[in-house]
Structure formats: C-alpha cells, structure tokens
Amino acid sequence: PWPNPLACLPRTRPSMLAGHRIHMDEDYEQWYRGLARKDRKDAGRSWRLFSAMQNSDFMRARDVGTARSVLDLIEHEQRRRLHSLGEAYRLDEKENGNFYRALVTHADPACQAIVTALTIDGTPIAGLLSLGSGTSCIMLRVAFSEGPWEKAAPGRLLIERTMRALHQDGYRTFDLGIGDYRYKRQFDPERVALLSVTRSLSVRGLPHSSGVWAKAQVRKSPVIERWARRLKSYATG
C-alpha cells in the first residue's frame, strides 16, 4: 500500500482514537466460528428475534431513492439520540449533510457508497452507510429507530448481516471505524493505531492549531501533564 502523505506533515501526532479492522479469508463461517462463544450466541439470538417479527428483512439499497430514505433514517435517529444525551449534533449541518447525500447520490466505481438496512413491512428501522473500495469496506454511520425490534440489538445485527452479504460479493476487509464501543469488540477486530494532524488554513486558525499541538506535547510526558493539571486547577479554583 502507498504511504499516507498526511502522516508526513509537520506536527502529526498519534491519535487518541483507533480504527477497528476485520480481515476475513474465503470462508465467512470459519471467521464467524472464531468469535467468542457468547458473542456468537448473542448474534444468533438477535437474528432469531428479528426474523421472528412479521415481514422482517435485511436489504441492500440498489437505487438512489432507497439509499436516501435509509440515510434520512440514520440522520434522524442519530440526531434524536445525541440530543437525548444533551450532546451537539453536527452531521445534519448544511455542508455535512450535503456531503453524505452526495455519497449516496453520485456513483463512483472507485469508492462506492453501500447502504444496507433492516426493514419491517418494507420500512427501514435500522440503517448503515458504508464505503467500499476494491475488497475493503469501512462502515461510517449506523442507527436504528425505537420499537419492539430494539431487543434484537438491530445495530449490531445489521453490521453482521452486512458483512455476511458483502463477503459474498468479494469483500474481505471491514473497518468498523473509530469509537471503542462494546458491540465492535464483539466482532474481535484488530485495533489499528491512527494519526491526527490539525492544520490552520488561515492566520485566524493558528491559535487553535497551536493549542492542539501544545496539548499533544504535554500528554507525551506524565510529569508535565500532571503539573499542567495542577496549574489548571489552581487557575480555575
């Protein structure tokens, strides 16, 4: 693989986040049997609970209209959840929203949007947006709506069903993205170290980028970080 040129920029530093990558060989079931017994049982139970619901199904969007409807579900449910936690939600801001809508609207053979969903009576109740390139797929956004299907852990179930379907289409590497959530650990991914870089695009951005860099330098030394915390507590106390 080609080296990432962004990693060569000045002030690039190790990120506090990490990727979660899964590599499979030709036999999906062999990989599946390699998961922890409890995690396999939980996954099987989730599928039985969901498939027992009337007119339940897994589907992959094959047209723009269906993909957009699933993306609308993801956006709505992510907004609802974060607001319920008292956190800010930025992905539906104009620029961000347009970016994700362009992903599912404009076909790109080199890096195609993959939209999958769990449905009840043909209506999406859980959606997943991924990007596929070659034999690799990265999962970007997943969300599900409230309802009786929540007992089936629809988010985790949708990820497993998507990997199963895409494996049949030739995909062999899956990245569950950043965020160290329990449902990701149930798939036993490889933790992938990431790098982070903050660049100012104008003079106005220099204070912020310099502050980010300074904090990263402080974190490199436990002694300096401890003193920095003390100074901060004195200043705010």
For every residue of 184-236, DSSP letters joined together read HHTT-PEEEEEEE----SSGGGHHHHHHHHHHHHHHT-HHHHHHHHHHHHHHH
In this predicted structure, the answer to whether residue 17 has a pLDDT above a threshold of 70 is yes
137, 170 in Cβ contact below 8 A? Answer: no
- Rounded Cα gap, residues 67 and 103, in angstroms: 10
Amino acid at 237: G
The predicted structure's pLDDT at residue 206: 79
- The residue-averaged pLDDT of 109-121 equals 94
Residue that the structure tokens 């912020």 belong to: 208
Sign for the pseudo-dihedral over CA of 184, 125, 57, 100: negative
Q: Is 76 helix (H, G, I), strand (E, B) or coil?
A: helix
Token pair for 228: 């920095």
Give pLDDT tens digits for 146-195: 999 999 999 999 999 999 999 999 999 999 999 888 899 999 999 998 88
What's the mean pLDDT when you consider all of the chain?
89
